[in-house]
Amino acid sequence: MTLETKTLPNNKWDGGWVETDNEWKPRPRDVVVGGIEWVARMSDKARAKARGTVGAYIYPCPADKRLLDALAIDADTFQQIALNATNNDDLVAGVRATSPTIREGTFSFTRRR
């Protein structure tokens, strides 16, 4: 995570309002929690979609779908994990408990191709 990322108003659980862009944004793309790239951003979008506040963002977008495929978790199941979590530790624990690829040690994902 870069210094610039640390200071962004959306670099927190559930994302945040970015006044300069006049919109809600999920956490930045480079935030990694529990050693899993993209899961923080995807969870913010999943919760926002469930609440009807996702705006112009898409859940699941193509990058979300790649991570979901790597985790072997469907979008609805992940959304429930994200909704049940109250912090990053809960989120990561839910993903780790649900993902067969993590449990089997075959999980592999990078958002950069």
Closest to 58 measured CA to CA, from 72, 44, 78: 44
Cα–Cα distance measured from residue 32 to residue 19, given in angstroms and rounded to the nearest whole number: 24
- pLDDT tens sequence across 68-83: 999 999 999 999 999 9
Enter the pTM of the model: 0.92
Find all residues with CB under 8 Å of 87, minimum gap 6, and list them.
13
Cα–Cα distance measured from residue 42 to residue 46, given in angstroms and rounded to the nearest whole number: 6
- pLDDT tens sequence across 6-29: 688 999 999 999 999 999 999 999
